[in-house]
Amino acid sequence: MRRLVSLALAAGLLAALSACAGQEKPNFPGAPAQSVPTRGQPLASAGPGPAAKPVDPASLYARLGQRAGIEAVMTDFVVRAAKDRRIAKRFEKTDAKALIAKLTDQLCEASGGPCKYAGKDMKTAHAGMKITNREWNITGGHVVAAMRAKKGPRKEQGEVMRLLGSMK
How many beta carbons lie within 10 A of that of residue 52, not counting itself? 18
Instruction: Please check whether residue 154 is in contact with residue 27, taking contact to mean a CB–CB distance below 8 angstroms.
Output: no
Looking at residue 144, its pLDDT comes to: 96
Looking at residue 52, its pLDDT comes to: 61
Instruction: Please check whether residue 141 is in contact with residue 11, taking contact to mean a CB–CB distance below 8 angstroms.
Output: no
Instruction: Please check whether residue 18 is in contact with residue 90, taking contact to mean a CB–CB distance below 8 angstroms.
Output: yes
pLDDT tens by residue, 76-123: 999 999 999 999 998 888 899 999 999 999 999 999 999 999 988 878
What pTM did the predictor assign?
A: 0.69
Looking at residue 55, its pLDDT comes to: 86
Looking at residue 70, its pLDDT comes to: 97
Per-residue pLDDT tens listing for the chain (168 residues): 444 333 334 444 443 444 444 444 333 333 444 433 333 333 333 444 445 678 888 999 999 999 999 999 999 999 999 999 999 998 888 899 999 999 999 999 999 999 999 988 878 877 888 889 899 899 999 999 999 999 999 999 999 999 988 887
